[in-house]
Structure 1
Amino acid sequence: MEFLKSVLAVGFGGAAGALLRYCVILATAHSFLPLGTLLINIVGSFLLGTINGYFASKKKSLVFLTLGSGFCGGFTTMSTFSQESVIFLQTSVLYAGVYMGASVSLSLLAGFLGLGLFNERRGEWR
């Protein structure tokens, strides 16, 4: 029964994250750079860092699975980032470098900032 609850929690969160990702991609479809994917991965990294920071000293729960593995997993997108990077590499190495560098560095920074919001020993806001 616990396994089924976990699977449903991840599935529900993943569906919500994927739907939000689709809406963001549609809303930013006319930007020069793939702004939607860039924003999604930065925001998703921040959220996952925050979720992991909050649950670091707590028992992992269905909320953790729903938000972390489910929502953030469905919201963020490595495959789209990779595809967009390949397309940029075929047309402009400069734009590809800017896009890939910004995506990786800003997503990592956002993840660290999200994780840093919490005191890992007590799970409280700093």
Structure 2
Amino acid sequence: MIELLVVAVGGGVGAAARFMVDGEIRSRHNGGFPWGTFVVNVVGSFLIGVFSMLFFALVQRGVPGELAHLLHIALAVGLCGGFTTFSTATVESVRLAQSGRLRLALANALGTLAVTVLAAGLGTAVGALFS
């Protein structure tokens, strides 16, 4: 039950943060490429990589496994899960394609996939520096 609670709280905070970050970026970049969604997905993927490695560092440093696990799911699953939104990226790609902007649709779909995987890898490398 506690796991559900920490994921729910983290997810709520992440979703609120996504709403604010995405809104701020959209207010500065109207139309064209969906930069708001792209940025939150890249940042969230990076943070998931960092949090995943920090989980191992906490366990190695003697933090009880259950506490480290709760921190990990609160941050990586809850916060980052609520912050990132791959379903929105997919819908935005479909909408771009439907409006005839096929190059932007392809750039969004493939770019999101490639850059978020790279961001997660970079986050894992950065997190490993602390473990």
- Please confirm whether the aligned pair reaches a TM-score higher than 0.5, indicating the same fold: yes
Q: Does residue 29 of structure 1 match 2:26?
A: yes
Q: Deviations over 1:43-84 (max 9, x none)?
A: 000000001111135234221111011001100001101110
Q: Offset of 1:14 from its aligned partner?
A: 0.2
Normalised TM-score (structure 2) = 0.83
Structure 2 CA distance for aligned equivalents of residues 96 and 11 of structure 1: 32
Aligned to 1:86: 94
Aligned pairs for 1:1-126 within 5 A: 4-30=1-27, 31=29, 32-56=32-56, 58=59, 59=65, 60-90=68-98, 91-119=100-128, 125=130
* Cα distance between partner residues in 2 of 1:26 and 1:19: 11
Following superposition, the deviation at residue 89 of structure 1 comes to 1.1
- Measure the CA separation in 1 of the matches of 2:35 and 2:21: 9
Per the normalisation by structure 1, the TM-score is 0.87
Q: Return 5+ residue gaps in structure 2 as ranges.
A: 60-64
Deviation of 1:118 (Å): 3.4
The one-letter amino acid of 2:70's match is L
C-alpha displacement of 1:86: 0.4
Q: How many residues align?
A: 119
User: 2-side partners of 1:118 and 1:86: how far apart?
Assistant: 34
Distance 2:25 2:91 in 1: 17
Contact kept? 2:52, 2:127, Cα under 8 Å: no
Could you tell which deviates more after superposition, 12-21 or 27-36? 27-36
Q: What is the distance in 2 between the residues matched to 1:95 and 1:118?
A: 32
Q: Supply the distance in 2 between the matched residues of 1:110 and 1:118 (Cα, whole angstroms).
A: 12
Q: Label 1:71 to 1:97 Cα distance change in 2 as closer, same or farther (>3 A).
A: same
Report the Cα distance in structure 2 between the residues aligned to 1:102 and 1:19, rounded to whole angstroms: 25
Q: Which moved more, 1:15-24 or 1:59-68?
A: 59-68
- Structure 1 stretches lacking a partner, 5+ long: none
Normalized per residue, which structure has more helix?
A: 2
% of aligned pairs identical?
Answer: 33
